């Protein structure tokens, strides 16, 4: 039996008290005051928030579990300073931990990182260690642009990032490359900024030689890889012009795409262009696009329908839904094996 593992889920329905504290925290920062005490959030509020949303939809759509992280658009590392980002990230990750402890067979934790545009990555290293070693999280969301749209940090291939990558390799966990909310008025967050950042990250990997230094480093570029599959010929040609090896050996031993593409032709193209071994099933529900497609009568983000409609062998279908996730997230694989799965 194949497990249906959704590699891309966010806690977009967290209890209102959690988001209210964030508003108070940022207001206190701007006023030069200490943040308020974080509120007590009852277990029943957490249960209601997921049982009427993610858990309900997972069951309805036929998925078994989801790799679950804090709400991406609310990470907002451009707000405040390193201390503000650290405190917010810890509160978000602690809330994910509570969800995982309540539903250990359904939710698998992935952490938010306390990045900040003017800070180094030591706080992120510390939080990754805490979440992996103390809370059994299996990965992290790494923001390539904590400025919120200015792209003020060096590319992901720069040595600025190396201490964090060393810790990822030591812990044997992957990162999903995921930006947060946009503070650039020219870039809509989920319609432009997310997809642009995905595409930019891939080009950074292509231009650099990161995986020579970190051959076991693993990244998931979400949202179907941004514009990359649609322009695969462009990137193959750029690799040739830049005197880089072919993409399959230069980048694609370490980089994976998910299936958060919200129409059948897009999924068809993804699978036609990208090798199955580099694709993980994901939906990002409840997320960026929550409505029903009037052309199909189904939810846009019900991506399992699109994958089910593909002409795949049973072996390939198993890899997309389960095998690739277990390979990219070895700590998830270990957890499942301990459960006899």
Active site residue 48: no
pLDDT 10s digits, 40-98: 999 999 999 999 999 999 999 999 999 999 998 888 889 889 999 999 999 999 999 99
> From 1.10.645.10, 3.20.20.140, 3.90.1150.10, 3.40.50.880, which CATH number describes the 5-338 domain?
3.20.20.140
pTM as predicted: 0.96
Whole-number Å distance between alpha carbons of 248 and 309: 26
With tokens 């029943």, the residue in question is: 44
Q: What is the DSSP letter of 275?
A: -
Buried b (16+ CB within 10 A) or exposed e, 278-304: bbbbbbbbbbbeeeeeeeeeebbbbbb
Torsional sign, CA 252, 318, 50, 333:
negative
Backbone dihedral region for residue 237 (phi beyond 0: left; psi -120 to 50: alpha; all else: beta): alpha
Q: Identify the active-site residue in 101, 127, 134, 284.
A: 284
Q: Tokens standing for 100? A: 């995982």
pLDDT digit string (tens) for 138-188? 999 999 999 999 999 999 999 999 999 999 999 999 999 999 989 888 989
Q: Which two tokens stand for residue 141?
A: 């969301």
């Amino acid at each position: 039996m194949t497990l249906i593992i959704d590699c891309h889920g966010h806690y977009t329905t967290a209890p209102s008290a959690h988001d209210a504290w964030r508003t108070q925290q940022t207001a206190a920062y701007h006023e030069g005051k200490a943040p308020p005490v974080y509120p007590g959030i009852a277990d029943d509020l957490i249960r209601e928030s997921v049982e009427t949303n993610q858990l309900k939809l997972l069951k309805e759509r036929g998925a078994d579990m989801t790799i679950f992280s804090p709400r991406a658009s609310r990470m907002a590392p451009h707000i405040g300073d390193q201390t503000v980002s650290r405190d917010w990230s810890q509160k978000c990750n602690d809330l994910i931990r509570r969800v995982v402890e309540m539903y250990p067979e359904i939710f698998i934790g992935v952490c938010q990182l306390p990045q900040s545009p003017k800070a180094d990555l030591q706080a992120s290293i510390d939080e990754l260690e805490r979440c992996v070693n103390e809370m059994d999280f299996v990965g992290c969301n790494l923001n390539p642009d904590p400025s919120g749209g200015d792209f003020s940090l060096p590319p992901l291939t720069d040595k600025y990032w190396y201490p964090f990558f060393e810790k990822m390799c030591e812990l044997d966990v992957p990162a999903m490359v995921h930006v947060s909310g946009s503070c650039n008025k020219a870039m809509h967050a989920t319609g432009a900024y997310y997809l642009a950042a995905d595409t930019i990250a891939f080009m950074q990997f292509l231009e650099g030689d990161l995986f020579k230094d970190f051959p076991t480093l693993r990244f998931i570029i979400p949202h179907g890889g941004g514009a990359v599959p649609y322009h695969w010929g462009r990137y193959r040609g750029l690799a040739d012009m830049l005197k880089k090896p072919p993409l399959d050996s230069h980048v694609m031993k370490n980089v994976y795409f998910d299936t958060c593409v919200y129409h059948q032709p897009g999924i068809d193209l993804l699978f036609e262009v990208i090798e199955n071994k580099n694709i993980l099933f994901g939906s990002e529900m409840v997320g960026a696009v929550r409505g029903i497609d009037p052309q199909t009568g189904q939810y846009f983000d019900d991506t399992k329908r699109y994958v089910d409609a593909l002409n795949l062998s049973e072996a390939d279908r198993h890899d997309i839904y389960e095998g690739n996730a277990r390979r990219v997230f070895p700590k998830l694989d270990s957890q499942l094996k301990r459960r006899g799965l």
